[in-house]
Structure 1
Amino acid sequence: MSERIPAGGPFRASTGMHDSLNLEHLAEAKSLLYTYCPGAFCKGYLPRLLKAAELVARARIYDLSYSESYAGIDRGVLDLYSNLVSLYAEYIAGALITYGEHVVIRAKQPFSLDGVVVEPGEILPLPLNRGFGLVLAGLAEPVRETAIKLPGND
């Protein structure tokens, strides 16, 4: 069953031999899923499949997110992870303006937040998960500490 899990399965992932994820992998995985589910076998198959796929996903994110040469259909997911790590590193380093436990962001695009439309240029403090989510979605940018913006700190 291991080799039937997308992108090579847990054995290949654990050894760092990642196949490029493509539509054929996903089609094969869906075919197997529809073969065994629904049905009596599905009750045991699905949890094992999802656990194995989670292990493969973790290994792929760890191994491939900083590989510039990797070009599978999941490249965007890996880029999202890399961007999250970079943003989180800035937060940990104290480079982002915070308000209490919240991160301060500036809207780049209009978006609705709790029924209120936020316009480009507006600045607001948000919990990390919401603020980072908007930044990663490209709707906002983090507001950086003033010391970073001073001349000579390029």
Structure 2
Amino acid sequence: MNNVKIKLIGVLLFAFVLLLTGCAENTAEPSPTFEAKGKLFYGEKGKFGMVKLNGESGEPEFTVEKGGHYQLYFLDDSTGINGEGYSMTATHEETGKKIQLYKAMIENEQSGAKLAFDQPGLWDISVAVDKEPYASFIVEVE
């Protein structure tokens, strides 16, 4: 009887570990796009949006190694951030690798940027203005 109880406890413990492993899987997905100012943006609605300016028709918005030119919009104009510096970093969801994407100044609530990613997958982009967190969102790089 003790052998049966030990096996049952073992099976229950194994099932519990499987349940925990299933719950710990990465469930991140790209942030939804949104429309503002007559454009379709990637970013955080009401705060920050970006639009790709170059590339071939049908090409993904975010490509590995090739990079792209983007127009960045700081949509919350109530913050008075013109003339402030901003930086963009990205963290790969699977590997945790962090890269510096771009740094520049904000002019007329906008900036241009050339961004490149070195591996495919989901990337969590963080935007900081004057070193303070401003916006974050997830994109899929192909």
TM-score, reference length from structure 2: 0.27
The structure carrying a bigger strand percent of its residues is 2
Bigger relative contact order, structure 1 or 2 (CA pairs below 8 A, ≥6 apart)? 2
Provide TM-score, normalisation by structure 1: 0.26
The structure whose residues are more often helix, as a share, is: 1
